Amino acid sequence: MNQTPEHEQTVGQTSSPAGSAAEQAPGAQPVSEQAQSGEAQAPGEPVSLEQQLEQALAKSQEWESEYLRARADMENMRKRNAQEVINAGKFAIESFAESLLSVADSLEMALTLENQTAEGLRSGVELTLKQLQQAFQKGRLAAMNPVGEKFDPNRHQAVSMVDGAAQNPPVASGHVVQVMQKGYTVADRVLRPAIVLVAQ
């Protein structure tokens, strides 16, 4: 049975909508892909100015906190060092004073003894002097007795000049001939210069 032209036209019309839709938008994406592309953010999208400002403020607060902690640590260290210097000086004086107590005890005991002989008195003085020298050594106090040494104005004080050639033995010019009073140093620092006679 032959189909009429009207029947062929109807069949063509019923199959054309899908094809016509594809022909009208050849570059259009499916609906599902468009939805996905609208929801997801591109990985290379730049950060907004508000987010950059928030990050900068957070970093600034972190740095400020670290600075304040470091400053507090430095201040505590400075106070500790200052206190240690004070304690070192204080305890050094106490240690030296303690070493002098035996010297004071010996002198007081010597005054309480009656009918002392010259030999006994001399022996007691020598013992007391030895205790005093030990106390000086403990306190790093050293005597200067520069006989025969070259005169040093930083350590010696000349009160007179004498003929060095007339001495026995002879003393070179500019050298110490005689010490009138010993000098003392504390840890290599001059506490009192030695009073001396110098060869001219």
Does this model's pTM top 0.85? My answer is no
In this predicted structure, the answer to whether residue 52 has a pLDDT above a threshold of 50 is yes
Asked if 143 and 169 count as a contact pair (C-beta separation under 8 A), the reply is no
- Amino acid 85: pLDDT: 87
Note the pLDDT tens digit of each residue in 140-184: 899 999 999 999 999 999 999 999 999 988 999 999 999 999 999
Q: Could you give the CA distance from residue 198 to residue 176 in angstroms, rounded to a whole number?
A: 5
Q: What burial letters (b/e) apply to 100-139, b meaning 16+ CB within 10 Å? A: eeebeebeeeeeeeeeeeeeeeeebeeebeebbeebbeeb
Nearest to 154 by CA among 181, 183, 178: 183
Q: Could you give the CA distance from residue 54 to residue 44 in angstroms, rounded to a whole number?
A: 20
Q: Could you give the CA distance from residue 52 to residue 181 in angstroms, rounded to a whole number?
A: 80
Q: Provide the pLDDT confidence category of residue 30 given band limits of 50, 70 and 90.
A: very low
- Amino acid 187: pLDDT: 86
Note the pLDDT tens digit of each residue in 6-21: 444 444 444 444 444 4
Which domains, and CATH codes, for the chain? 49-139 (3.90.20), 141-200 (2.30.22.10)
Mean residue pLDDT of the chain comes to 81
Nearest to 147 by CA among 101, 198, 91, 97: 198
